[in-house]
Every structure is written in C-alpha cells, then in structure tokens.
Amino acid sequence: QLSMRLEKVASFIPNGARVADIGSDHAYLPCYLAKQGRITSAIAGEVVEGPYKSAKRQVEATGLQDMIEVRLGDGLEVLEPGEADCITIAGMGGVLISEILEAGKNKLDGVNRLILQPNVGANSVREWLYRNGWELIDEEILEEDGKIYEILVAETGDPLAPYHDELELGLIFGPFLLKRKEAAFLKKWSLEKENWRRVLSQLDNAQPSREVDWKKQELAGKIRKVEEVLAK
C-alpha cells in the first residue's frame, strides 16, 4: 500500500517511462510502478547505505530485479546520460532537491519530465526549474497524516509560461496552486502565517538591534504577502 503522497507522484509518471527515483529509500515507488506494469524500467538511487540495502531487499522480495536496478551514489551521479527519461525526487527538502538537480545537470539530457516532491521549500525547486529551462506544467498539494505536501511536475519548455505576470508570487506559492487555492493550500499558508506571527511577537520581546529590526520587517512583509494571497 503506497502512501497517498507517493501515489500522487506516481500518477504523473508517463506510461512506459524509464524512471530514475533518486533518494528512493525502500524503493516503494519504483516497485509499485513496476508491479503495475506502468514503466519500462527503473533505477533506484540512494546515497545512504541503510536505505540502499532496504531498497535492494524490497526489489528482491518483490522479484522485480529485472526491471529495477538499485544503485548506491549521490544524487544523479548514479545515472549515465540517456538512461532515464523521467526523474522523481520525493520526500526531501526543496533546497536539497535543487542541489541534486544542479549538481547533476549534465545527466538531464534525454530526460523529459521531472516530478519533484519537496517536503518544505518548494520555492527553491520552482526557482531552480525557472532558471534552468524547465517549464512547470502542473502542481499538486495534499494533506496526509497531518502534513501538507507539494508535488511539482516539469518538462523542458518555456520556464516563464506558467507564471504570466506573477513571477514573484508564483515562485513562492506555485502558479497552479495559486489559481486553484484548494483547502490544503489555504491551510498550509494560514499555518505558515501563524508561525511567522508567533516569531514576530517573540521578536517584540527581544533585545532591540538592527538584525532584529530586519527580521521583523522581513516577517511582516511575508505575512502581508500571504494575507494578500489568501484574501484574493
């Protein structure tokens, strides 16, 4: 039984894809896709020995060794150029996902779809995509077990296309999510706002300094932006 989060990630993988799942942990995602006959092949990449072994065990236990290869290595380093046409990176911070993509840029030739699921910091991922010729083509937001997750889907194309004239807000909130304003989206940003409010009121009690002032201004600006978006 796959989590709702990974099932959503899976739903964006084109049929017959040659997938690379980076940071695969137990390789649940590639095993699920292979079992369903949805993909041609998969590479499950892991940088940490323990999860790498779990992934290997899982693939062997499900008898999918012919379709899924588990490789130990950092990010896209485990790939040869042209081996995968679809890459998934899920369940990590957005900064780490962007770093993995940046470090592995030369492995992206022949890849036509990226499905990225940052736990936090989706803005870093959107920025990386925007700066590197990838067009965000869809987004999802969902809540599972009290956590809110975002999924970003990109293809090579026109990076500016989804943003129209709202690049700044779009990079932060997600152009598709911003348009749809689903319940999970509203909840995520209300929670963020409450959190910033709390920090702001703590700073009111802090020893005054320039840094504290800057931080307060920054937080107030973020709160204002979220209020604008939520009120629209």
- Residues forming contacts to ligand SAM in the complex (CB under 6 A) are 6, 22-25, 45-48, 51, 74-75, 90-92, 96, 100
Task: Give least dist CB 126 to ligand SAM, A.
Answer: 19
In the complex, minimum distance from the CB of residue 223 to ligand SAM, in angstroms, rounded to a whole number: 30
Minimal CA–CA distance to 29: which of 65, 55, 57, 60?
A: 55
Q: Which is nearer to ligand SAM, 24 or 123 (CB)?
A: 24
Closest separation between CB of residue 60 and ligand SAM, Å?
Answer: 18
36 vs 66: CA distance, rounded Å: 14
Q: Rank residues 73 and 81 by Cβ distance to ligand SAM and give the closer one.
A: 73
CB nearer to ligand SAM: give 99 or 166: 99
In angstroms, give the least distance from the CB of 72 to ligand SAM. 9
Query: C-beta of 89: minimal distance to ligand SAM in Å?
Result: 7
Residue partners of 185: CB distance under 8 A and separation at least 6: 141, 173, 177, 178
Min separation Cβ 87 and ligand SAM, Å: 12
Q: Which one, 22 or 178, has the nearer CB to ligand SAM?
A: 22
Amino acid sitting at position 194: E
Q: Which is nearer to ligand SAM, 34 or 92 (CB)?
A: 92
DSSP per-residue codes, the chain: ---HHHHHHHHTSPTTEEEEEES-TTTHHHHHHHHTT-EEEEEEEESSHHHHHHHHHHHHHTT-TTTEEEEESSGGGGPPTTS-SEEEEEEE-HHHHHHHHHHTGGG-TT--EEEEEESS-HHHHHHHHHHTTEEEEEEEEEEETTEEEEEEEEEES-TTGGGTT-HHHHHHH-HHHHHH--HHHHHHHHHHHHHHHHHHHHHHTSPP-HHHHHHHHHHHHHHHHHHHHHH-
Q: Smallest gap, in angstroms, from Cβ of residue 17 to ligand SAM?
A: 16
β-partners of residue 86 are 19, 113
Nearer to ligand SAM, 24 or 58 (CB): 24
User: Based on CB atoms, which residue is closest to ligand SAM, 91 or 162?
Assistant: 91
